[in-house]
Amino acid sequence: MTKTIAVSNEKGGVAKTTTALSLGAALAELGNRVLLIDLDAQANLTLSLGLEPGESELTSSSLILDNEPLLKVCRKTEFPNLDLIPSNSRIETAEQYLPVRTHYTTILQRAIRAAAQPYDYIVLDCPPALGAVTRNALAAANLLLIPTQAEYFSAYALRNMMGLIRRTRESDNPSLSYRILVTMLDRRNRTHRNIHEQLRATFGGGVFNTVIELDTKLRESPIAGQPITQYNAAARGSTQYRLLAQELMEYAKETENTQTS
């Protein structure tokens, strides 16, 4: 069964695209067939895999706005088991045109369900906003992964994310679950440690055990057009995203067992 993961946070600069890319690559490295879908007009995920946003005729906007079949829009990457649906600035127009359509929040959900899935995981990189595109991603997802820094403004932004989760469950996707991923953690920083502890106390099992610490290699890898696991396999970021992939696979297996029992 394909698991769809939306990576989203209204707050920018929380390693959202880094997480979508690095987690997807780590899942692929573990033998899973993975599709990354870039839903952000900035197309940073597309750029991080060495593709120019303007070079693809078919993009995520083709999927959402033009009803192109999902498998027609996919592109192979140079990395084994890892495919991509790229993005460009056109997807910004979705915020204007989608809300006038009937059942517009479930367009992506229907596109994913209509495809004969060759993928084990689909990872959706959302824009840093809670508009029509992000609502589509949450409606389509089994799991919402929320990257957040252990800093006040980033943690505060979780309030709006929780509100969107409730609305999505009520209207489009009653089985949507979420997990918070603490990113860019500096263990030497007392404020980081305190907020990390507060997040665990508040959300309990809703926080991944794995944390992603500061690592300059994570900033360098997109420039090279490679996931961190390829750019520097021994880097701390590589190790931690591999641990995250394993934790996520265990969570997916437990969820599947619960649903089938």
What is the pLDDT, as a whole number, of residue 254?
86
Q: Per residue of the chain (261 residues), give pLDDT as tens.
A: 899 999 999 988 999 999 999 999 999 999 999 999 999 999 999 999 999 988 889 999 999 999 999 999 999 999 999 999 999 999 999 999 999 999 999 999 999 999 878 999 999 999 999 999 999 999 999 999 999 999 888 888 899 999 999 999 999 999 999 999 999 999 999 999 999 999 999 999 999 999 999 999 999 998 899 999 999 999 999 999 999 999 999 999 888 777 655
Q: Contacts for 191-198 with beta carbons within 8 Å, 24 or more apart? A: 191/150, 191/151, 192/149, 192/150, 192/151, 193/150, 195/150, 195/151, 195/152, 195/155, 196/150, 198/155
User: Do residues 241 and 229 touch, judged by C-beta distance below 8 A?
Assistant: yes
CATH number of the CATH domain containing 59: 3.40.50.300
118-150 pLDDT, tens digit each: 999 999 999 999 999 999 999 999 999 999 999
Please tell me the pTM assigned to this model.
0.96
Helix (H) or strand (E) holding 181: strand 177-183
Domain that holds residue 108: 3-260
- The total number of structural domains in the chain stands at 1
What is the pLDDT, as a whole number, of residue 260?
58
